[in-house]
């Protein structure tokens, strides 16, 4: 009997290549018109009243598109039932925010950061940090009990944006023989820090700093510290600025020293 596996593999490859084309063709023209304005449709869902729901990403946010029964018009926004219940939140959470959160968390993992805390700490927190940022220094101090207890590892995603020498200082930390020790010395000194910016930043580190800054913008932050963590349900959460005590506990989780 003739071996049909090569033909099967060939047809599977063709199917994968044609999948995006088929998806684009399957979208109604009215939905495609919204995509042409910058939205990215990532899935569809059932909606009441003869409407067809589509979940999309736009500028890093989730939006719901509702196609009318005639197929010629699109409504954008939240859909409420007679009791005022939001019928849009759950589809967007499942189709947009959960996948987007996982994607962004992976991008944070792949960014250039300085480890602060135990390698085997059960909780990871990312923070976009500028060496000249006083509120970054405040958060560094706030995090000490959790870091020193081994409960949290803070990963400082270094950027250079606040002052002309910020990039040079970030580069000095990244290129230090022991970046974690250098960061600790700088943050512990606070305003008295003697961290000297590098007069010449290598092409590699310059590229890393630019990539970090781009990622920061794509994640919806424009100022430091921008803090990212996973909540109890594993969903990506953001905190802008040094957190208040109640927010700090949500970010850092339980402190083992308290038990």
- pLDDT tens figures, 38-80: 999 999 999 999 999 999 999 878 999 999 999 999 999 999 9
Amino acid 26: pLDDT: 85
- Cα three-residue angle 259-151-117, rounded to 5 degrees: 150
Using alpha carbons, list the distances in angstroms from residue 133 to 31, 129, 183.
Answer: 44, 7, 13
User: In this structure, what token pair is assigned to residue 130?
Assistant: 């500028």
pLDDT value, residue 131: 98
> Comparing 185 with 220, which gets the higher pLDDT?
185
Q: What is the mean pLDDT of residues 177-197?
A: 97
Domain with CATH 3.40.30.10 in the chain: 111-258
Q: Specify the 3-state DSSP secondary structure of 44.
A: strand
**pLDDT mean over 183-188:** 98
User: In which band, very low, low, confident or very high, does the pLDDT at 257 lie, cut at 50, 70 and 90?
Assistant: low
pLDDT, tens digit (0-9, with 9 covering 90-100), for 219-236: 989 999 999 999 988 889
Q: What is the pLDDT of residue 24?
A: 47
Distance of CA 13 to CAs 2, 3, 4, 23, Å?
Answer: 20, 17, 14, 16
At residue 8, does pLDDT exceed 60? no
∠ CA 39-15-94 to the nearest 5 degrees? 40
**Phi, psi at 199, each rounded to 5°:** -70, -25
Q: In the prediction, which pLDDT does 11 show?
A: 43
At 59 the pLDDT is 80
Stretch 194-223: mean pLDDT, rounded? 96
Per-residue pLDDT at 163: 97
Percentage, residues of the chain above pLDDT 90: 81
Q: For 164-183, what is the mean pLDDT?
A: 98
Instruction: Pick from 19-23, 36-40, 184-188 the range whose average pLDDT is largest.
Output: 184-188
The pLDDT assigned to 168 comes to: 98
Task: Inform me whether the pLDDT recorded for 15 exceeds 70.
Answer: no
pLDDT at 61: 85
The CATH 3.10.450.70 portion of the chain extends over: 25-101
Q: Let me know the angle formed at the C-alpha of 95 by 89 and 99, rounded to the nearest 5 degrees.
A: 120
Residue 180 to residues 123, 153, 173, 174, Cα–Cα distance (Å): 18, 11, 8, 9
- Using CA atoms, how far apart are residues 127 and 248, in angstroms rounded to an integer? 13
CATH H superfamily, domain 25-101: Disulphide bond isomerase, DsbC/G, N-terminal (3.10.450.70)
State how far Cα 100 lies from the chain centre. 8
Which of the 8 DSSP states describes residue 86?
Answer: B
The CA distance from 122 to 118, in Å, is 9
Tokens of 201: 């930043």
- In whole angstroms, give the CA distance from residue 18 to residue 217: 33
The pTM of the full predicted model, rounded to 2 decimals, is: 0.77
Check residue 225 and give its pLDDT. Answer: 98
132's tokens: 């000249």
- Which tokens go with 127? 């923070």
> Which pLDDT belongs to residue 190?
96
Question: What CATH number has the domain spanning 111-258?
Answer: 3.40.30.10
Whether the per-residue pLDDT at 259 is higher than 90: the answer is no
> 226-231 — which CB contacts under 8 Å span 24+ positions?
226/127, 226/128, 227/125, 227/126, 227/127, 227/139, 227/251, 228/104, 228/105, 228/108, 228/125, 228/126, 228/127, 229/123, 229/124, 229/125, 229/126, 230/105, 230/124
- Residue listed under structure tokens 């560094």: 140
């Amino acid at each position: 009997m003739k071996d049909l596996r090569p033909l099967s593999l060939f047809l599977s490859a063709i199917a994968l290549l044609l999948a995006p084309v088929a998806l684009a063709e399957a979208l109604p023209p009215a939905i495609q018109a919204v995509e042409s304005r910058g939205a990215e449709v990532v899935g569809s869902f059932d909606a009441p009243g003869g409407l067809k729901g589509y979940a999309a990403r736009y500028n890093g946010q989730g939006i719901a598109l509702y196609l009318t029964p005639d197929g010629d018009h699109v409504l954008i926004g939240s859909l409420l039932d007679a009791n005022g219940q939001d019928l849009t939140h759950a589809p967007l959470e499942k189709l947009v925010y959960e996948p987007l959160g996982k994607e962004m968390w992976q991008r944070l993992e792949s960014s250039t950061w300085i480890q602060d805390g135990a390698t085997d700490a059960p909780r990871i927190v990312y923070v976009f940090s500028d060496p000249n940022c006083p509120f970054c220094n405040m958060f560094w101090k706030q995090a000490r009990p959790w870091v020193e207890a081994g409960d949290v590892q803070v990963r400082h995603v270094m950027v250079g944006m606040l002052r002309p020498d910020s990039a040079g200082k970030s580069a000095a930390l990244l290129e230090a023989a022991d970046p974690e020790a250098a960061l600790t010395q700088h943050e512990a000194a606070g305003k008295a820090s003697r961290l000297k910016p590098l007069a010449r930043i290598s092409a590699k580190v310059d590229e890393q700093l630019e990539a970090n800054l781009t990622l920061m913008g794509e994640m919806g932050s424009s100022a430091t510290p921008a803090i990212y963590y996973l909540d109890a349900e594993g969903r990506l959460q953001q905190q802008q600025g040094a957190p208040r005590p109640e927010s700090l506990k949500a970010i850092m989780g339980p402190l083992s020293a308290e038990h």
